């Protein structure tokens, strides 16, 4: 009997060691999996034309909501994500046992910011997700705006104007487990053609709304089901997102509601004026990941364009229930 137990214990021990070695091997393969140094550089030159810089500022601080991640402000006070919040980064994306990533300092400081990056390096990071060191950034690839060529130039031009702030941001700090888990997933640089540029205009248009909602404000990305194999939104388009634990470490979760024109969707429930009013009212829940501070500063024409685009999508019947609720909430009955 004792012998059998010893044998079982030995086998378990060996299994644990094998799993341990496997996890360590997987973890050490992550850098290689994220390496994409051959990703081509877009040919981009920053402009000093004030109109171009202003368009870049509007994307970075408003509709493209870069400050939601790169803004240097206390996250318990979302109102501090103001129109002038510094872009010196440092925000910690804490992913529990997987480790922590840090938002980069985007000011022109040469040591701690982007002062030494070339225009094409910045453009490549924004368009494909690949950093200047050739490694793919999962955040830049999957959670940041996908801009038209003109808007990439505008954004790079604006970033160049940011006064230097010295603030060292730590390198990524993933745990062995985090690295191993990431290594089992498939991440690829975004090599798709850039979306067509649709410039702002006085008159709202479905086309401008499509460009913004799909690519810049990322309404569709958050408000659709995400395929966990590719990290990309899948259908039904803007028909409601997946429940996500609240980042405030409570037992609550958020669900991005259906935005389509079906009576269960937000553009079905609200007419255009009420929709504009809803954005004017801003954030209801302090911990919601929706960048309300940025998006509620959008121009009225852009907001109307987005409304009209969302209304034009196939109406999806999907009542997501309360958008802020106890984790694991189920509809009664």
Binding residues for ligand HEC (CB under 6 A): 60, 64, 66, 68-70, 101, 103-104, 106, 114, 117, 122, 125-126, 131-132, 137-140, 143-145, 155, 172, 213, 217-219, 222-223, 254, 256-257, 259, 266, 278, 284-285, 288-291, 295, 306, 323-324
Cα–Cα distance between 110 and 31 in angstroms, integer? 25
Closest CB 8 distance from ligand HEC, rounded Å: 43
Cα–Cα distance between 303 and 297 in angstroms, integer? 9
Rank residues 26 and 58 by Cβ distance to ligand HEC and give the closer one: 58
Cα–Cα distance between 178 and 75 in angstroms, integer? 23
Integer CA distances (angstroms), 222 to 8, 240, 241, in order: 48, 8, 6
Across 37-46, b (16+ Cβ under 10 Å) vs e yields: eebeebebeb
Closest CB 57 distance from ligand HEC, rounded Å: 11
Closest CB 216 distance from ligand HEC, rounded Å: 8
Rank residues 179 and 223 by Cβ distance to ligand HEC and give the closer one: 223
Rank residues 153 and 266 by Cβ distance to ligand HEC and give the closer one: 266
CA nearest to 90, candidates 107, 106, 103, 75: 103
CA nearest to 127, candidates 51, 64, 205: 64
Closest CB 257 distance from ligand HEC, rounded Å: 5
Closest CB 51 distance from ligand HEC, rounded Å: 18
Rank residues 15 and 234 by Cβ distance to ligand HEC and give the closer one: 234
95, 178 Cβ separation under 8 angstroms:
yes
Closest CB 156 distance from ligand HEC, rounded Å: 8
Rank residues 75 and 289 by Cβ distance to ligand HEC and give the closer one: 289
Rank residues 182 and 254 by Cβ distance to ligand HEC and give the closer one: 254
For 99, the token pair is 């480790």
């Amino acid at each position: 009997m004792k012998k059998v137990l010893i044998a079982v214990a030995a086998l378990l021990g060996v299994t644990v060691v094998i799993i341990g070695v496997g996890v360590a091997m997987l973890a050490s393969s992550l850098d290689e999996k994220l390496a994409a140094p051959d990703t081509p550089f877009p040919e981009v030159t920053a402009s000093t034309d004030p109109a171009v810089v202003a368009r870049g500022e509007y994307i970075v601080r408003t509709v493209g909501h870069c400050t939601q991640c790169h803004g240097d402000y206390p996250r318990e006070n979302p109102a501090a994500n103001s129109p002038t919040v510094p872009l010196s980064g440092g925000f910690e994306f804490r992913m529990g046992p997987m480790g922590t990533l840090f938002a980069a300092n985007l000011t022109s400081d040469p040591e701690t910011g982007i002062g030494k990056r070339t225009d094409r390096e910045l453009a490549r990071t924004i368009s494909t997700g690949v950093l200047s060191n050739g490694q793919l950034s999962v955040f830049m690839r999957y959670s940041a705006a996908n801009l038209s060529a003109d808007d990439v130039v505008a954004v790079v031009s604006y970033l160049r104007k940011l006064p230097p702030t010295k603030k060292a941001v730590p390198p990524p700090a993933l745990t062995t487990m985090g690295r191993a888990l990431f290594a089992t997933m498939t991440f690829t640089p975004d090599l798709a053609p850039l979306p067509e540029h649709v410039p702002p205009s006085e008159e709202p248009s479905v086309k401008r709304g499509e460009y913004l909602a799909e690519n810049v404000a990322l309404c569709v990305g958050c408000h659709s089901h995400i395929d966990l194999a590719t990290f990309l939104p899948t259908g039904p388009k803007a028909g409601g997102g997946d429940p996500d634990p609240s980042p405030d470490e409570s037992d609550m979760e958020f669900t991005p509601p259906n935005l389509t024109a079906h009576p269960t969707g937000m553009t079905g429930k609200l007419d255009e004026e009420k929709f504009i009013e809803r954005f004017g009212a801003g954030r209801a829940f302090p911990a919601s990941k929706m960048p309300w501070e940025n998006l509620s500063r959008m121009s009225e024409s852009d907001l109307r364009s987005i409304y009209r685009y969302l209304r034009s999508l196939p109406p999806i019947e999907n009542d997501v229930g309360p958008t802020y609720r106890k984790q694991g909430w189920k509809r009664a009955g």
